[in-house]
Structures are given as C-alpha cells and as structure tokens.
Amino acid sequence: MKNSVIGRYRRVAYLVSWFPTVTETFILNELRELERLGMRIDVFPLLGRHGYVNHPGTESLVARAHYRRLFAWATFAAQVYWLLRAPGAYLAAWWMALWGNLRSPGFLARAFFVVPKAALFAREMQARGVEHVHAHWATHPALAAMVIQRLTGLTYSFTCHAHDIYVDRTMLREKLEAATFVVTISEFNRQLLGRLYGDAVREKVAVVRCGTDPRMFRPRARRTKLAAVPRLVCVASLRPYKGHPFLLEACRKLKERGRTFRLMLVGDGVERPRLEKLIAEAGLSEEVKLLGSRPHNEVAALVAQADVVVQPSIVASTGQMEGIPVSLMEALASEAPVVATRISAIPELIEHERTGLLVPEQDAGALADAIERLMMDRELATRLGREGRRHVLAHYSLRGNVRSLSELFLELRVPGPLDSPRKLLAAAREVVASSPRAVPTHQEPREPAGVGKRARRGDTRTAPRN
C-alpha cells in the first residue's frame, strides 16, 4: 500500500464489548497496527474494561477509549436528541433490537443497554467525523453498529470469530445482510455462513486472519536434547471449551509412564476452582502450575522456554469452540513444537506432521502420546517448529493481515465503479486474496452437535460473553 493511499479513510470507529480484555489481545494488536498504517481509530466499549492486564502498548489506546456510563446525563440527552431529530429512525432501531432478539432472553435483556449506548455513540461519532463503523463480534457490538447505521446512515462492517456464530445466531442473518462487508478469521467460518445463509451472504464475507507479531515471538535457541525436566506450556483462558481437564488427564498418564515434566497453565477463568481440584486429585500438584493471566511479553518468554506447547480445545456442550487460537500462532512463530486438537479451523493453521501434531478432541490418551512423541523425538520437534514459523510468517503475519483489513476500509471511499456493492465486495476479496487460502482438510464445516436447531430458532442456554 502506498502512503498516498493511506489517509483516504482517516477515521474508523471500533465497537467492542470490553476494552481492553486480557483474552482479546488480537483486537489490541489490530488497533495498534491500523494506527501505524495511518488510520485514526476511535474505540467505543459497550461495557468497559474486563480482566485488565497491562499489555505493553495498551496505555495510549485505553486513555483515548470512549468509556461511557449507561445511567448518565449524556446518555439520556442522546435519547432525547434522536427522539426529536429522527423519531422514526430511533423508534425503528428499538423495534429492530427488541423484536429481533425476542426469542433469545439473554440478547433481549442486553438490548436494553445496547440501544441507548449505541444512540450515545452515534452522537459522538458524528461529532468526531467518523466515516465507518467496525464491530468486533457478531453479537452485541454488531447490534450496536446496526443501530448507529439506522440513526446516522454510517456504513458498518464487523468481524466474526467463533462463539458469536457458533452458539447463538439470533439476528445474525439481519446483521450480515445490513453490513457493507463482513470479515471472518477462517475459511471454515466463511463456508459455514454460506451454508447457513446462502451464497449472497458468502459473497459478503472476506477472510482476514488474525495475526501475530514475529518480532515479539521470535525463534528460540535450537535444542538438540530434551531438558532434564521438560516444560509444557498451555496458553488459554480457563473456560470449558479449552479442554483443560483432558490435558490434565494426559499429564496423569505421562506421569504414570514415568515421564518427568512441568506444565505451565497461562490464563484465568471460571474453570479455575474445578481445575485446582482435578490437579490435586490426579496428584499433579508438583507438575502443574496455574500462572493466571500474564502480560503479552511474559507469555512470549514462557513460550520461548517451552519444549511443547499444547492446546487441548474441544467443542463444548453449548456449541462453543475455537476459531483459530492466536496463542497457537504465537507458539509457531516462536518455533515451538505444538500439539492441538482437530476441530473447527485449527487444521488451517496446524497441518498435521508439517507444522504440528493434531489429535482428536477429548482424547487424553492421544494427547499424551503426541506430547510424549515430541518430548522424545527432538528432531521432529525442531522440524515442526521451523516449518511452523515459516507458515506463520507467510500467512499469519499481523502486519500483512491488518494491511488487508485496512484495504477493505480504504476501498469503501473509492468513487466510481466501487459504488456498486457487488463490485466493492469483489474488489475486497481480491485484496484479501493475498492472505492465505484455507489449508485443505478432510473436515467439513459442521454445526456443533445439538446446537444447530437451537441456534437457528434463537434459543440459547448459555449467553455468549461478547
């Protein structure tokens, strides 16, 4: 991208649920990189901060984020403004949000704070000269973007990742159809949306993968011999779909086989009490350490010291599952040998026997075998690590992928032929064509067992976090 192009689209508003949140460093990195490319980004969190860890480079964006309270004079004044200035659009936005979410109790309840906050943000975006709105997650942020579109006429787009299209799909069709374009992080997701909503929606969706910074996650010193006490590392929030119990069972099996090791669990979450109990019951208190959440630079240092990085993800009973874990990209960028499960879009990143090892989900025995194999075969571990970094540099570079996203924003401002939505989206896909195609796998996109019918009718038993 030439510098003369940067600046045609100066101001983009980002809508998120929480900012910052420790589990979404990929959003923070994306924002920083967009600003490095010359764009002006305004961040509008719907809820505030969550699980705050001071990642390097966070302070500037946090200081400029637009944190607003629901019960405040400014929020009330914004409702009065739109009710007097554009009563039809304002009431239609409320009707859209309430009627559209009627069959999802969780989403319906949240609509009562999303709409007022969106009305307030719409006023502020107008005042700041925002030209386009981009939401992260297809849930509440995308609904807020729809409301802002109704009130101001601003175009919007959104990025969908994982649970926001796997668990509760209430109003997802409407959000997809109203968006100027849609971004998703994997070909798996794009194909799933096409199967659910047809080719017209599929044509709107561009695959722009999350990326990692290879300058932070660098190759570690080559190891020809296994450490006296091999170090296993798992970087994942402590939540059911991350599959930690199966990793602990795999560790128990390794210990029974006489293998010595230390497992470092980086992350925090609702599963921590359960995992602490499982660790004690399995007799793994000396082998397994719960480190909690850690800043990005500390995570990089831990991964650099790992003999094996493990990601035991599963499809949870709610249907929640991974998109593509950024922590796996970071491990590959560090040339760490990786073991992961063969679910969702993970095989687009981890090619079995080339960039890592894949095992079936919920199979502690297969997980233990794969870990042991990498512990014992250091030549294989080195080769997988080396190929993994090459793969990340080619297809999962933060700068390259954020540049593709910035081109999508820039194309919206080009006059002439791109005024046609169909031609705009065709041009957007050509831009993203420089990003990697999906790695062919034998796994077809599938709806999580027992979730498809529930999601289509809008019933949700576990509301998504975002």
Report the interhelical angle of 25-36 vs 398-411 (nearest 10°): 70
Most confident listed range (30-34, 215-219, 304-308, 368-372): 368-372
For residues 415 and 303, state if they share a domain: no
Q: Give the pLDDT confidence score for residue 22 in this predicted structure.
A: 75
Range in 32-41, 79-88, 340-349 the model is least confident about: 32-41
Domain boundary among 395, 413, 444: 395
What is the number of domains present in the chain?
2
**Mean per-residue pLDDT, 238-253:** 98
- Domain assignment of residue 462, yes or no: no
Q: Give the pLDDT confidence score for residue 428 in this predicted structure.
A: 52
**Mean per-residue pLDDT, 283-287:** 97
For residues 79 and 191, state if they share a domain: yes
- Domain assignment of residue 129, yes or no: yes
User: Does the pLDDT at position 350 exceed 80?
Assistant: yes
User: Does the pLDDT at position 3 exceed 50?
Assistant: no
Q: Which tokens hold the place of 263?
A: 């497992």
Q: Give the pLDDT confidence score for residue 411 in this predicted structure.
A: 83
- Domain assignment of residue 98, yes or no: yes
- Domain assignment of residue 284, yes or no: yes
Q: Give the pLDDT confidence score for residue 412 in this predicted structure.
A: 77
For residues 443 and 372, state if they share a domain: no
Average pLDDT, the chain: 87
- Domain assignment of residue 287, yes or no: yes
Spatial contact of 321 and 290, defined as CB atoms under 8 Å apart: no
For residues 376 and 401, state if they share a domain: no
Q: Give the pLDDT confidence score for residue 381 in this predicted structure.
A: 95
For residues 244 and 192, state if they share a domain: no
For residues 344 and 431, state if they share a domain: no
Confidence of residue 410 (pLDDT cuts 50, 70, 90): confident
Q: For residue range 71-129, list pLDDT tens digits in order.
A: 999 999 999 999 999 999 999 999 999 999 999 999 999 999 999 999 999 999 999 99
For residues 327 and 372, state if they share a domain: yes
Domain boundary among 344, 363, 395: 395
Q: Give the pLDDT confidence score for residue 224 in this predicted structure.
A: 66
User: Does the pLDDT at position 268 exceed 50?
Assistant: yes
For residues 243 and 388, state if they share a domain: yes
pLDDT above 70 coverage of the chain, percent: 84
**Mean per-residue pLDDT, 329-346:** 96
Domain range enclosing 251: 231-395
User: Does the pLDDT at position 44 exceed 70?
Assistant: yes
The reported pTM is: 0.85
CA triplet 324, 372, 251: central angle to 5 degrees? 75
For residues 180 and 235, state if they share a domain: no
Confidence of residue 223 (pLDDT cuts 50, 70, 90): low
For residues 203 and 291, state if they share a domain: no
If we measure between CA atoms, which residue out of 263, 237, 243 comes closest to residue 252?
Answer: 263
The residue with greater pLDDT, 423 or 360, is: 360
User: Does the pLDDT at position 463 exceed 50?
Assistant: no
User: Does the pLDDT at position 416 exceed 70?
Assistant: no
- Domain assignment of residue 218, yes or no: no
Domain boundary among 356, 371, 395: 395
- Domain assignment of residue 34, yes or no: yes
Range in 21-30, 76-85, 173-182, 437-446 the model is least confident about: 437-446
User: Does the pLDDT at position 440 exceed 80?
Assistant: no
**Mean per-residue pLDDT, 151-161:** 97
User: Does the pLDDT at position 435 exceed 50?
Assistant: no
* 208, HSE (Cβ side, Cα atoms, 13 Å): 31
Strands 132-136 and 155-160: parallel
Helix (H) or strand (E) holding 142: helix 140-152
Residue 383 belongs to a domain with what CATH number?
3.40.50.2000
Alpha helices in 218-345 (DSSP H): 244-256, 272-281, 296-304, 326-333
pLDDT above 90 coverage of the chain, percent: 75
User: Does the pLDDT at position 58 exceed 90?
Assistant: no
User: Does the pLDDT at position 443 exceed 90?
Assistant: no
For residues 108 and 60, state if they share a domain: yes
Spatial contact of 108 and 98, defined as CB atoms under 8 Å apart: yes
Q: Give the pLDDT confidence score for residue 54 in this predicted structure.
A: 61
For residues 109 and 164, state if they share a domain: yes
- Domain assignment of residue 334, yes or no: yes
Is 14 buried (19+), middle (13-18) or exposed (0-12) by CB count in 10 A? Answer: buried
